[in-house]
Structure formats: C-alpha cells, structure tokens
Amino acid sequence: MTMAIESSDALAPADVAHLRVAIDLAAEARNDGRHPFAAIVVLADGTVISTAMNNSRPPEGDPTQHAELSAAAHAARLVAPEVLAGATLYTSAEPCAMCAGAIYWTGIGRVVYALSEARLLDLTGDNPENPTFALPCREVFARGQRAIEVHGPHLEDEAASTHIGFWK
C-alpha cells in the first residue's frame, strides 16, 4: 500500500508563491556561501511558521542540516502534530531520504517541491558535497504508515538557476 498521495499537477496561486519564496531563499543561501537549498513550512491557514536555508557546507556547517530537516524540526517545536498534519512544506528541491524521514516523523501532511532529485543530479554530477540519492521522496513516504501528499516537480527551471555554476 502506498502512503504517498499523488495529486493534480496544478498548483494554487498560493502554492506557487510559497514555492517561489523557497527558491528565493535558496538563492540567498547560495549568496551566503551555503549550498543553494531552502524550505518553508506553512500552516493550512497560510501562516508561515518556519523557514530554513541549508547549513551543511563545511567547515562550520553540519552535514545533517538540510533546509527541509531544519524547517520541519523547527515547525514541530512550535505547533502540535495535529496542526502539522494540515501543514505544507515547500522546498526548492525534492527532499532527500533523510529529509523525507524528518517530514514523515514530524507529521507534516503535504510537500510541494521545485527541483527533482534527478534534475539536481544532472546539475551536481559527482560533486562530493552533494552525493544525491537516487531515491525519490515519494518512495520513502510510500513505506510509511500515514499518507503524505506530494506535488512536484514544479518551477524546475527557476529552481535550477540557483544551482547552475555552483557545483563546478
């Protein structure tokens, strides 16, 4: 039984706006010398409760501090699990296996992502700072015991622009 729910590819205008915020934050992360990833968590009523940029780049970064994990963990400290069940995590790139696990364990009910893991791999190649998994987040969520709605990829070209030239 699959627990990752597929939905219509069409996004609401608010979804597009939130996804663009994540992409803009990823560009800001790049400008700050970080890996170009970012995520935000938005409650069902549209309130943004958490934003995070990637902080995994050496020497001061922690390799586990991906934007999605950080945003999800912060959101889980702020609101109850039943509130997070109606929340959406918007991210500039598809969550990796670690981040998908964090999303699952915090109880966030919906994910909207821009850049697919496959497209990211095309951009990063074999760069040792981003050894991507060939494991879509939908496959991670499908192994869980609760459903997580997944939308993506969307706005891939916009999200890819923050990576072009970074990984070379």
Instruction: Note the helical H segments in the chain.
Output: 13-31, 67-78, 81-84, 97-106, 117-124, 137-142, 156-161
Return d(Cα 46, Cα 42) in angstroms, integer. Answer: 6
Active-site residue, 117 included: no
Are 88 and 132 spatial neighbours (Cβ–Cβ below 8 Å)?
Answer: no
> Which is catalytic among the residues 28, 60, 68, 117?
68
Q: Give the catalytic positions in this structure.
A: 68
